[in-house]
Amino acid sequence: MKYPFLPRVARKLRRKSRVALTPLTVRRLHRRNVRSSAPVTDSSHSAYVSLTTHGARLENVHLTIESIARGRERPGRIVLWLDDENAWRDRPESLRRLEKRGLEIRLTENFGPHTKYYPALDDLSIDDLLVTADDDMLYPVSWLRGLVRANRSEPQLIHCHRAHLVTFDEPGSLTPYEEWDECWTRKGSIAVFATGVSGVIYPRTMIDLLRAGERRFLTSAPKADDVYLHSVAASNGIRVKQTKTAPEHYAMLPDSQGQGLYHDNVKAAGNDDQIRASYSPDLLLKIKRARGEIG
């Protein structure tokens, strides 16, 4: 076998993914990485795709990037942020090949999950559209086009492919994050909570607010970027809208969500601690009213 890691990755993907995926998909993406000279970006496009990776995921993140690059629309820029100088210096050949085709790999501070978007804020031009992606997903060919079209239709909103609804119990108290409902509506609302795993596109007003907030996330939600981003949006009346009525679940690379932030934030209720630190009583009241309008 020319690429010995491929059977292991493909086998785990087929077993763990909520979306059907064949080993052939993984092989095709890796073959594309080895053989293709096609650019991964399109200079005529305004989308700036930002993502980060760390640890063992560095070896497989090229699959995520190749899945974005094969899309019906290619972004103007794809920037991969690394917070480890050794990883940046010794990045694998799969990423060096992508650099020759337009991928940018930048070294930055470690901002935890906020590394996915925070260093990009000062790198965006006035016309760039910030799109965030996760390093452990394989995205479909319609992924970027769907986000960009949603932004063109309603540029003042945050658009995402997958969301939750902030949920309250019968007495009106906020429920634990793990009990929040999946979003099954295309209504835009501050009660819609974007989950970054399936991709998010942000309006210019949100970029300005995040820049003004500087590193406030380090005190309120250092390990929960989705929580901080939603709290900033909701506090300023920026609505979130899911691109389709049903949430999009994409194929996930193995050895990712079973560890790290997913365990700390969801299974160990870490998100709830950070939600309490990020949402004031007045803000929760506004969100509760907005949720009532959704039904």
Contacts of 112 (CB under 8 A, 6+ apart): 222, 223, 225
pLDDT tens series, the chain, 295 aa: 344 444 444 444 444 444 445 688 889 999 999 999 999 999 999 999 999 999 999 999 999 999 999 999 999 999 999 999 999 999 999 999 999 999 999 999 999 999 999 999 999 999 999 999 999 999 999 999 999 999 999 999 999 999 999 999 999 999 999 999 999 999 999 999 999 999 999 999 999 999 999 999 999 999 999 999 999 999 999 999 999 999 999 999 876 544 444 444 554 468 999 999 999 999 999 999 999 999 7
Sequence-distant contacts of 265-271: CB under 8 A, at least 24 apart: 265/177, 265/223, 265/224, 266/177, 266/178, 267/178, 269/176, 269/177, 269/178, 270/223, 270/224, 271/177, 271/178, 271/224, 271/227
Please state the φ and ψ torsions of residue 293, each to the nearest 5 degrees.
-75, -25
The neighbour count for residue 18, using CB atoms within 10 Å, is 9
Angle, to 10 degrees, between the axis of helix 61-69 and the axis of helix 143-153? 60
Domain range for 190: 5-294
pTM of the full structure: 0.90
CATH of the domain at 238: 3.90.550.10
Structural domain total, the chain: 1
